[in-house]
Amino acid sequence: MLLAIDAGNTNIVFAVFDGDAIKGQWRCSTTVERTADELGVWLHHLFELSGVPRDAISGAIIATVVPAAEFSLKTLCRQYFSVDPMIVGSPNVDLKMKVIMDRPSEVGADRLVNAVAAHRLFGGPLVVLDFGTATTFDVIDGQGNYLGGIIAPGVNLSIKALHMAAAQLPMVAVEAPGNVVGKNTVEAMQSGVYWGYISMIEGLLARIRSQQNEPAMKVVATGGLAPLFAKAIDEIGHSHGDLTMLGLLMIYRQNLENDKAGQLA
């Protein structure tokens, strides 16, 4: 079994793969002060509740955009599962994808993982739209090369910023309001966030397609809010909640195959 770990700015997601099937998936808040021992105890109970034997883990892979969390996650894999994890972004981990950027090392590991998975599943050219702490657009060409992207404030981050900056604006849930013009403060905020993000996404996708000269460029959405926005944005052709985890599985397998081929050579 494979332990896949995606450490984002808001949450760390752990998933256990048995072949292609996810046998368990859990998340905790990203707290860099949390030690490997704390994570190990927490995961031990979740493994037991899910009926996943801890000693069945034969490999691990980590993608993190929080450098301070990497040490604890590597220690967790080594001490509690007796495996040395692959780290996405390390020179010895091959993504089989060119990153055509001014500074490739600056691209978040999760974005590269999503790009690998989306191109493998849906082909290219395409845009991966990720609704996370930030709302990101990642552009991949027909050959699977990563061309660059766009980073905008995330939906929940925007709501939090409004609430913190304006005394009379409450925290609101992200919902599709019935009317564009709100009849009260909550409706007005929900409309601004929901329809505002839809307009931003539609406008940016149109500009990306125009600049890339790819009017039929596919769009794949992922992240917790992807289903909500995919319903209202015709340009989104696919919505996939486990895109990052599947990408980690793909990268792990292709590097395992590379290692075996190298040993046989």
pLDDT digits (tens, 9 = 90+) for 106-149: 999 999 999 999 999 999 999 999 999 999 999 999 999 999 99
Average pLDDT score over residue span 252-257: 92
Q: Are strands 59-64 and 86-87 parallel, antiparallel or unpaired?
A: parallel
| Residue list, annotated binding site for K(+) | 130
Query: Nearest CA to 222 among 146, 117, 70, 140?
Result: 117
Percent of the chain residues past pLDDT 70, beyond the cut = 98
Task: Identify the residue whose tokens are 């996943």.
Answer: 52
E-state strands within 141-232: 146-153, 218-223
The token pair at 217 is 């460029």
Active site residue 94: no
Q: What is the pLDDT of residue 257?
A: 85
Distances (CA, A) of 16 to 46, 57, 63, 66, 176: 11, 8, 15, 21, 34
> What are the backbone dihedrals phi and psi of residue 106, each rounded to the nearest 5 degrees, phi first?
-80, -15
In order of start, what are the domains of the chain with their CATH numbers? 2-87 (3.30.420.40), 104-247 (3.30.420.40)
> Could you give the CA distance from residue 87 to residue 263 in angstroms, rounded to a whole number?
21
Q: What is the pLDDT of residue 262?
A: 62
Q: Is residue 261 pLDDT above 70, yes or no?
A: no
Average pLDDT of the chain is 94
Give the pLDDT band (50/70/90) at residue 234.
very high
Helix (H) or strand (E) holding 237: none
> Could you give the CA distance from residue 69 to residue 31 in angstroms, rounded to a whole number?
8
- Distance, first Cα to last Cα, the chain: 26
Task: Estimate to the nearest angstrom the gap between the alpha carbon of 114 and the chain centroid.
Answer: 6
| Residue list, annotated binding site for ATP | 6-13, 133
Predicted TM-score (pTM) of the model is 0.92
Q: Is residue 34 pLDDT above 70, yes or no?
A: yes
Q: What is the pLDDT of residue 263?
A: 62
Q: What is the pLDDT of residue 156?
A: 92
- Residues constituting the chain: 265
Of the listed ranges 59-63, 165-169, 193-197, 256-260, the least confidently predicted one is: 256-260
CA dihedral sign, ordered 18, 21, 23, 27: positive
Question: Catalytic one among 18, 20, 84, 110?
Answer: 110
Cis peptide before 177 (omega within 30 of 0): no
Give the pLDDT band (50/70/90) at residue 258.
confident
Q: What is the pLDDT of residue 264?
A: 52
| Residue list, annotated binding site for substrate | 108-111, 185
